[in-house]
Structure 1
């Protein structure tokens, strides 16, 4: 059995679990105008931005020349997660610890800075660290090196679904005998090239009002807003966690991933199937699910498809649904992992965070979307969903750990 004992958060509305959760319950947004370059003339200018993050406050200075923004955020989140779990990696055999992270963008800002040097000044001016700082696996590698984690490790690329996939992979390694895994996802891509890549999806909201630009499941939904950051979790074998007296946030009880068929086939999207498979993996009936943390694309056809999948699983208004990511934007590989943190805190506190920004949910969606203020309920089982572009789907089931063998 795999349990989660440590949480590390770097989010647009809070760095650290305490700050993030307080902001999420109170509706403090991390959405702001992108100011890292001149965005004059761009059709969209809002994003979920991490403010007041100085890497020198969190990392050794020797790491700064060799790391992209996303890696600095991932290393910081990992340090927070290990501290939260009260784990000292130096006290565990190196091959008993592994790392599984997801990343959708690579080291965007770092590599484009070095490309500019190459084009304008020549190859002699390109950083030697470009050889790895751009790579999707660099967060896994840097975490592994910094904390001496030489056990099974991996890197996954599945856009927004990637963070859940990384946690699923971490659980697989725990089941295979690894004592402790660090898992999750972090992304950041807000240089000019990165912003154009975001806009190329055609799904970024052009609404200039931060309060309404990203309103998932709303009748007036007009797209999503990109964000940066994410979350890292510490996963342990339940027996090992119990033996050391660890505080446990919850059990990662079920996981599944699916891939959508090509639109030309006429077959339905596979998000609902991922949810059913994850519930079956956990041995949980739909009636046992207390809340769903939705993917919540903020795009009308995608919201409609997710609502249909939830109606098919739970019936119309059959389960509370929420999307706290409206306060942060979609964080790509970091989004699912951050929703897992919110879900675990929901389990801990019995509070479902609301979906801020959304005002009117179409009746045809059949959703009991939590709006306005947190909803206090007894929560034992949570389903978390995520979809990535090009057909990736993932789902995890989280349960309270007390009195489970």
Structure 2
């Protein structure tokens, strides 16, 4: 079945970005097109004693300027970013939540770490001064669902609310859930994710997976699919998106939005040592089938691009087996931000939607020589003005999570 035969699905009508590439949709998009990296030496604490000293950090973010003051001491930095991105997404969509029925608005976000930095500070108070020094908000600020809860409270959204904890894959899983909620009658869903674990406790926790790059050069530390790939760099931030039915968006004058969520699938890898193959290829195939498209319909793949050599080969093999060697452009703008965990795939979706809207495939900054086994058409050097209409976004999470999301340019039915 071709894209011309696909029934219109839920549309994304608003995007809010708080990422290392900048705050706001246009700032982020221009940084991506220019290949402007948001990775630098970690500034939220002194990283000198740690093997990883570089990360993607949101520049110029001031919680005081973007969220109600009373929420700042009650919530973690990751939730601050999520609240700001959600407010920006609602404004971008032209939505005033007060105009909609409160039980017809939902919130589903992705989280990998919860309020790590907030929790570290409270634990420091506990160890140094005793239990009476631990604030009451520790009981909620550390929680994975804190961002979902705070967004729903701030905007009066009392429909189905939830959080998905699937590491990087969660940023696609929540959009799959948002699509399901719209189909079940939700008027509007705030979805996406932001994470922020750039504190000593959070960094040490991330180091335990042995996938972070310790290369002491920010330009060469995160090189997915490259012969010098050595892991990835962490980052903070992400994106929030507004998902609505196509009819609902048109009825309120929002037009066609950024694009259509056409297909989604999730999978889980077999345990280590199993004779069964990784789940990624099958997950991609199921997402394409769900969207009613064939591999030849896909114009660009936004890769998971872990930067871990064995993972890169698995992903490249899944793409080659699905599309053929070098037959679809593959890109990974996340080399400009680092991997943002719960926020990373949501930011990839935002970038993919902008690529479809503007007819441009952004390039991947960093890799120069593809590693053996990575027989893909990695877009490098500069963006390609090829007018993509259909995009596939791939994400994997530590522990075996896999997800794939198919997006179509609005008006491409």
Bigger drift between 115-124 and 285-294 goes to 115-124
CA distance in 2, matches of 1:376, 1:6: 24
Does the CA-based 8 Å contact 2:389-2:412 persist in structure 1? no
Does the CA-based 8 Å contact 2:227-2:372 persist in structure 1? no
Does the CA-based 8 Å contact 2:10-2:182 persist in structure 1? yes
CA distance in 2, matches of 1:22, 1:54: 21
Change in Cα spacing, 1:311 to 1:403, as seen in structure 2 (3 Å) is: closer
Aligned to 2:94: 86
Aligned to 2:130: 122
Aligned to 1:45: 53
Query: What SS does structure 1 have at the residue aligned with 2:286?
Result: helix
Change in Cα spacing, 1:362 to 1:127, as seen in structure 2 (3 Å) is: same
Question: Given the alignment of the two structures, is residue 229 of structure 1 paired with residue 237 of structure 2, yes or no?
Answer: yes
- CA apart distance, 1:393: 0.3
Bigger drift between 261-270 and 309-318 goes to 261-270
Aligned to 1:131: 139
CA distance in 1, matches of 2:11, 2:378: 28
CA distance in 2, matches of 1:399, 1:13: 24
Question: Given the alignment of the two structures, is residue 69 of structure 1 paired with residue 89 of structure 2, yes or no?
Answer: no
Q: Tell me the TM-score normalised to structure 1 length.
A: 0.98
Query: What SS does structure 2 have at the residue aligned with 1:390?
Result: coil
Aligned to 1:383: 392
Unaligned runs of 5+ in 2: 1-8
Does the CA-based 8 Å contact 2:317-2:373 persist in structure 1? no
Question: Given the alignment of the two structures, is residue 284 of structure 1 paired with residue 293 of structure 2, yes or no?
Answer: yes
Question: Given the alignment of the two structures, is residue 107 of structure 1 paired with residue 102 of structure 2, yes or no?
Answer: no
Question: Given the alignment of the two structures, is residue 15 of structure 1 paired with residue 23 of structure 2, yes or no?
Answer: yes
- CA apart distance, 1:365: 1.7
Post-superposition CA distance 1:325-344 (Å, at most 9, x none)? 00000000101000000100
Change in Cα spacing, 1:384 to 1:18, as seen in structure 2 (3 Å) is: same
Aligned to 1:24: 32
Q: How does 1:125-164 map to 2 (within 5 A)?
A: 125-164=133-172
Question: Given the alignment of the two structures, is residue 259 of structure 1 paired with residue 268 of structure 2, yes or no?
Answer: yes
Aligned to 2:284: 275
CA distance in 2, matches of 1:70, 1:281: 33
Question: Given the alignment of the two structures, is residue 33 of structure 1 paired with residue 47 of structure 2, yes or no?
Answer: no
- CA apart distance, 1:363: 5.5
CA distance in 2, matches of 1:333, 1:37: 22
CA distance in 1, matches of 2:193, 2:65: 21
Of 322, 335, 347, the residue aligned with 1:313 is 322
Unaligned runs of 5+ in 1: none
- CA apart distance, 1:75: 0.2
- CA apart distance, 1:403: 5.9
Q: How does 1:393-404 map to 2 (within 5 A)?
A: 393-402=402-411, 404=413
- Taking only aligned residues, the RMSD between alpha carbons, in angstroms, comes to 0.9
Query: What SS does structure 2 have at the residue aligned with 1:231?
Result: strand
- CA apart distance, 1:266: 1.8
Does the CA-based 8 Å contact 2:86-2:241 persist in structure 1? yes
- CA apart distance, 1:387: 0.2
Does the CA-based 8 Å contact 2:113-2:144 persist in structure 1? yes
- CA apart distance, 1:228: 0.5
CA distance in 1, matches of 2:303, 2:322: 13
CA distance in 1, matches of 2:167, 2:372: 30
Query: What SS does structure 1 have at the residue aligned with 2:273?
Result: helix
Bigger drift between 110-119 and 386-395 goes to 110-119
Q: Count matched residues.
A: 404
Does the CA-based 8 Å contact 2:316-2:374 persist in structure 1? yes
Aligned to 2:367: 358
Does the CA-based 8 Å contact 2:231-2:306 persist in structure 1? yes
Question: Given the alignment of the two structures, is residue 95 of structure 1 paired with residue 103 of structure 2, yes or no?
Answer: yes
- Following superposition, which runs of at least 4 residues in structure 1 exceed 6 angstroms of deviation? none
Post-superposition CA distance 1:351-399 (Å, at most 9, x none)? 1110001111136421000001001102111000000000000010000
Does the CA-based 8 Å contact 2:260-2:407 persist in structure 1? yes
Question: Given the alignment of the two structures, is residue 374 of structure 1 paired with residue 383 of structure 2, yes or no?
Answer: yes
Aligned to 1:241: 249
CA distance in 2, matches of 1:403, 1:112: 48
CA distance in 2, matches of 1:183, 1:166: 6
Aligned to 1:176: 184
CA distance in 2, matches of 1:108, 1:374: 36
Q: Tell me the TM-score normalised to structure 2 length.
A: 0.96
Post-superposition CA distance 1:249-276 (Å, at most 9, x none)? 0000101100000122121111111111
- CA apart distance, 1:236: 0.3
CA distance in 2, matches of 1:35, 1:228: 12
